[in-house]
Structure 1
Amino acid sequence: MSPNPKDLLVLDRGHNTTCTIHLHGATVLSWILKGEEKIFLSPKAVFDNKKAIRGGIPVVFPCFGPWELGPAHGFARISRWEVIQEPKKTEAGDIRAILVLTDSESSRKLWNYSFRLTYTVTLAENSLVTDFSVTNKSSESFDFTCLLHTYFRVDDINTVSVSGLKGLKYADKVRDGNLFSEDREVVTIRENVDRVYIATENTHLISNTLDGKTLTISKSNFPDTVVWNPWKAKAAAMPDLGEESYPNMVCVEAGHVSSPVNLSAGATYNASQTLQA
């Protein structure tokens, strides 16, 4: 199944460097850098403008994980976003687009607050920058969690490692959410892994992604990092993924999820992520 071209926004910087965004969820589907795709998108991803897209960079808001008020990971990733700035060249020669999501009748049925999400995507020469902001337009404060659920393409998950996590506490969602300490200098993945690392460094190196290359993820005001790969059995149980795909992906996700953001009426929360090769 392929996405409808009418649902796509394409940023093109030239030199075979592009970024493609699906308006369903403002999901970044692709980041091609000098001809090489850096982002994993499941070959079985569904583009029905209803289901969350499997792969890319889904936007999680206002709840990370199971949500008693509505769908898991909230409604932002399954909502249609509005483009308020078409792809446009900056003074630096980068290409930038801006999308927004505001509260609606359907969102207020689940979560009765007025808000404005702004998502700014900037395609630079060697990096992809995603700036995320939440403005509370309600007359009272509200709480939320948020995350950029980034899927990276890798040649072989068995050779991948993630830096910047040693000595940190993490909630292990595979083991009932219990807290553990990370003692490894670099984290490798050899099984079903679903961990929320708390109060992480602002930079992680993801080594051996493609052709032995390293990607850098830098974040601001996203204090937590999720590391996820479902491994064979769980991937096989996901019809939009499949057991043949798990070796070629790793999720390293910047978020504010171990504790909620409390946002006062009229205030704005700003956070950002930069992927660099």
Structure 2
Amino acid sequence: MAAVKDIVTLVLDKDHKTTVTVHLHGATVLAWKTQGKELLFVSENAVYDNKKAIRGGIPLVFPNFGPWELGPQHGFARISRWKLEKRPEKDDSGGMAAVFTLTDNKDTRKMWDHKFKLTYTLYLTEKTFTTTLKVDNTGGDPFTFTTLLHTYFRTDDVTKATVSGLKGLEYADKVRGDAKFTEDRDLVTVAEEVDRTYAGTPNSHVITGVVGGGKILMEKTNLPDTVVWNPWVDKAKAMGDFGDNEYPSMLCVEAGHVATPLSLGAGQSFTGSQTLTLLDE
């Protein structure tokens, strides 16, 4: 584990060509490289000050998706320092696993007065990368939350990328004031600012147009909603931690439980996960 100017990162290194890099600020996955090909996007303007969320990779959204009256947008998980619970190690099949945790503290309780434990498990194989988030209610009172894996994929040209599995589904369009529409395309493409939350999505999507012409299969468990986001020209220019001309190089396809909140009683837990697989071209 390396620390440079108080920036702490950790690498799951399967064979030098297949790696995952994680920042303990937010337990943010910064990179997923398979056979030497980097599949995740991180902005060149991303801020690493251990305060602001890191722009790119896979930030974790908890306990609130979107604007939040109690605290920062998308909650505090992505801006909190996580604990390394289990260092990366290989299992008998050659896969690499690491575990990170976040528990309530005085800062989180000022915003959201609940006791909890988040356990985030990363598992890397030759062509797959699984992220699993477990939420435990460790207090005596119930709480509600929303959560999301905010995955940024690298693209050669976002206008040539596609997302499958959304036809016929209702979505809330944030660009149009959260108005509801029904998707009529077999493959969703991006040619303008897009910020859509699709509810009740299937358990898998195929994302094409990932850097180098790749295809990725996203399989999700207990994460029934999918967000598709690209800031496009004006929004990109308005974000200080995102390059003005970077929007063609990324597409967010985000697995979450956000259309309706989850409720956990005292002692209850929730587990949601996604597995990303680089498909043969």
Please give the TM-score of this superposition, normalised by the length of structure 2.
0.96
- Give the corresponding residue for 2:131: 130
Pairwise CA distance, 1:5: 7.7
Q: Quick one: structure 1 residues 129 and 5, their matched pair in 2 at CA, closer, same or farther if it must change by over 3 Å?
A: farther
Work out the CA distance in 2 between the residues paired with 1:4 and 1:198: 41
Work out the CA distance in 1 between the residues paired with 2:221 and 2:253: 15
List gaps (5 residues or longer) in structure 1.
Answer: none
- Give the corresponding residue for 1:112: 113
SS at match of 1:194: strand
Pairwise CA distance, 1:242: 2.0
How big is each residue's C-alpha offset from its partner over 1:242-263, in whole Å with a ceiling of 9 and x where there is no partner? 2211000000000000000001
Establish whether residue 223 from structure 1 lines up as the match of residue 224 from structure 2.
Answer: yes
Establish whether residue 179 from structure 1 lines up as the match of residue 167 from structure 2.
Answer: no
- Is the contact made by 1:41 and 1:151 (CA closer than 8 Å) also made in structure 2? yes
2:98 alignment partner AA: A
After TM superposition, the structure 1 = structure 2 runs for residues 79-94 of structure 1, keeping only pairs within 5 Å, are 79-94=80-95
- Give the corresponding residue for 2:8: 7
How big is each residue's C-alpha offset from its partner over 1:149-168, in whole Å with a ceiling of 9 and x where there is no partner? 00000000110110000000
Aligned residues: CA RMSD:
1.2
Work out the CA distance in 2 between the residues paired with 1:90 and 1:52: 31
How big is each residue's C-alpha offset from its partner over 1:8-63, in whole Å with a ceiling of 9 and x where there is no partner? 01100005110000000000000011111000000110000000000000000000
Work out the CA distance in 1 between the residues paired with 2:143 and 2:39: 35
Q: Quick one: structure 1 residues 13 and 155, their matched pair in 2 at CA, closer, same or farther if it must change by over 3 Å?
A: same
- Is the contact made by 1:200 and 1:225 (CA closer than 8 Å) also made in structure 2? yes
- Give the corresponding residue for 1:161: 162
1:158 alignment partner AA: T
How big is each residue's C-alpha offset from its partner over 1:228-252, in whole Å with a ceiling of 9 and x where there is no partner? 0000110011011122110000000
Pairwise CA distance, 1:212: 2.0
SS at match of 1:208: strand
Q: Quick one: structure 1 residues 49 and 5, their matched pair in 2 at CA, closer, same or farther if it must change by over 3 Å?
A: closer
Q: Quick one: structure 1 residues 243 and 190, their matched pair in 2 at CA, closer, same or farther if it must change by over 3 Å?
A: same
- Give the corresponding residue for 2:37: 36
Q: Quick one: structure 1 residues 15 and 8, their matched pair in 2 at CA, closer, same or farther if it must change by over 3 Å?
A: closer
SS at match of 2:211: coil
Pairwise CA distance, 1:91: 1.6
- Is the contact made by 1:3 and 1:47 (CA closer than 8 Å) also made in structure 2? no
Pairwise CA distance, 1:4: 4.8
Pairwise CA distance, 1:208: 1.5
| Equivalences, count | 276
Work out the CA distance in 1 between the residues paired with 2:268 and 2:192: 41
Pairwise CA distance, 1:120: 0.1
Work out the CA distance in 1 between the residues paired with 2:20 and 2:235: 29
